């Protein structure tokens, strides 16, 4: 591993969600160089620059052959702390240590299944490669792949972390004309504007519910699409209420701290659609190279993302760094 970065999901793992298995080596975003390969591995060789992808794409199963989902049936997402063969490749003091998804990037070395790796251009800036292995790409993909956004659409993005900023950029790239960013941190307004946001709502500056503030910006109608990037249960319902009656679509990207949340089912019955999204609906082999190419051509610029850089030995400080108002993305230099 060369670099890693921090995603909100890492903190959920650290808190024992969804399965409390410890000790656990965190991290699923990163970039590294292939140090060695095992028997039967093809398509990669020592020295290749790669990123981990917690979603696989076998290109042969029913799901991978479909345009409906990016969730591979042959190589499913692993979140129980073990590799797909039921083993762990890490120990601490002779005790089994558990993985984060199919990898653990906050580490000097990582053993990973070939199907969860993507070879990338060796000229790719390493921080960009790290940020594109999950966070920003997840948001970008959710706006690009999941709702099939139409030109002249209106979009509300809840939470302007790296995923939300990716969602803003993805919505703009699909021709959205109104992109409303929602965050209680006033410093996120400038970040959102850098990626194409047209309007900003700080909920703490008004007594109105967020959905009403969104409707105030859309002629009382609401938006065509809401992309919920926080996982905060009350915001999920505000995302639902912020969309148009009868046709509104809500893409749930953020992961709640609890597996079960209360949903306003009545508002869904009025014709709205709520859909969950993993990795923004992106297929790693098919879609990620397109995003990397856009970065190479400067259609997507990630300079605004990195706010902090730390050494691997300081990784335990990330939860405190994320609480700082100017924090967007923490890069771990390994």
Strand 199-201 vs strand 178-182: parallel, antiparallel, or unpaired?
parallel
CATH topology of domain 3-133+302-333: Quinone Oxidoreductase; Chain A, domain 1 (3.90.180)
Question: What is the chain's pLDDT, residue by residue, as a tens digit (334 residues)?
Answer: 999 999 989 989 999 988 999 999 999 999 999 999 999 999 999 999 999 999 999 999 999 999 999 999 999 999 999 999 999 999 999 999 999 998 999 999 999 999 999 999 999 999 999 999 999 999 999 999 988 788 889 999 999 999 999 999 999 999 999 999 999 999 999 999 999 999 999 999 999 999 999 999 999 999 999 999 999 999 999 999 999 999 999 999 999 988 899 999 999 999 999 999 999 999 999 999 999 999 999 999 999 999 999 999 999 899 999 999 999 999 999 9
DSSP string spanning 124-174?
S-HHHHHHHTTHHHHHHHHHHTSS-PPTT-EEEEE--SHHHHHHHHHHHHT
Look at the alpha carbons of 71, 77, 83, 85 in this order and tell me if their dihedral is positive or negative: negative
Please tell me the predicted confidence (pLDDT) of residue 150. 80
CATH class name, domain 137-280:
alpha beta
Domain boundaries, the chain: 3-133+302-333, 137-280
| pTM of the complete model | 0.96
Question: What confidence score (pLDDT) does residue 195 get?
Answer: 98
How far, in Å, are 136, 212, 297 from residue 282 at the CA level? 12, 32, 20
What per-residue confidence (pLDDT) applies to 53? 95
Tokens 């319902």: give the residue: 237
Alpha-helical segments (H) within the chain: 8-14, 126-132, 135-144, 162-173, 188-194, 210-216, 233-241, 265-269, 284-296, 318-321
Please state, in angstroms and rounded to a whole number, the distance separating the CA atoms of residues 16 and 14.
Answer: 5
Nearest to 147 by CA among 55, 37, 239: 239
The torsion of the CA quartet 151, 157, 64, 268, rounded to 10 degrees, works out to -90
Query: What pLDDT was estimated at residue 271?
Result: 97
User: Residue 43 burial by CB count (10 A; 0-12/13-18/19+): exposed, middle or buried?
Assistant: exposed
């Amino acid at each position: 591993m060369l670099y890693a970065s921090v995603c909100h999901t890492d903190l959920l793992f650290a808190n024992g969600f969804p399965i409390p298995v410890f000790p656990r080596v965190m991290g699923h975003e990163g970039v590294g160089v292939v140090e060695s390969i095992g028997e039967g591995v093809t398509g990669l060789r020592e020295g290749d620059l790669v990123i981990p992808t917690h979603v696989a794409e076998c290109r042969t199963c029913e799901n991978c052959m479909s345009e409906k989902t990016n969730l591979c049936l042959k190589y499913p997402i692993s979140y129980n702390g073990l590799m797909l063969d039921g083993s762990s490749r890490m120990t601490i003091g002779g005790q089994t240590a558990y993985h984060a998804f199919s990898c653990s990037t906050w580490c000097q070395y990582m053993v990973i299944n070939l199907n969860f790796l993507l070879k990338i251009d060796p000229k790719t800036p390493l921080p960009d490669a790290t940020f594109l292995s999950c966070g920003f790409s997840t948001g970008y993909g959710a706006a690009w792949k999941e709702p099939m956004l139409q030109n002249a659409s209106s979009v509300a993005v809840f939470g302007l972390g790296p995923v939300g900023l990716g969602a803003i950029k993805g919505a703009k790239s699909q021709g959205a004309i109104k992109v409303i960013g929602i965050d209680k941190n006033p410093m996120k307004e400038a970040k959102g504007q850098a990626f194409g946001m047209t309007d900003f709502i700080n909920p703490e500056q008004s007594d109105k519910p967020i959905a009403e503030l969104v409707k105030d910006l859309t002629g009382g109608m609401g938006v065509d699409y809401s992309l919920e990037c926080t996982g905060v249960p009350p915001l999920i319902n505000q995302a639902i209420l912020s969309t148009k009656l009868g046709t509104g679509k809500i893409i749930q990207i953020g992961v709640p701290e609890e597996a079960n949340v209360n949903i306003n089912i009545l508002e869904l019955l009025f014709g709205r659609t709520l859909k969950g999204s993993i990795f923004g609906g992106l297929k790693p082999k098919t879609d990620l190279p397109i995003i990397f190419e856009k970065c190479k051509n400067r259609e997507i610029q990630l300079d605004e993302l990195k706010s902090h850089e730390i050494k691997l030995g300081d990784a335990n400080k990330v939860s405190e760094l994320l609480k700082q108002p100017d924090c967007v993305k923490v890069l771990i230099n390994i």
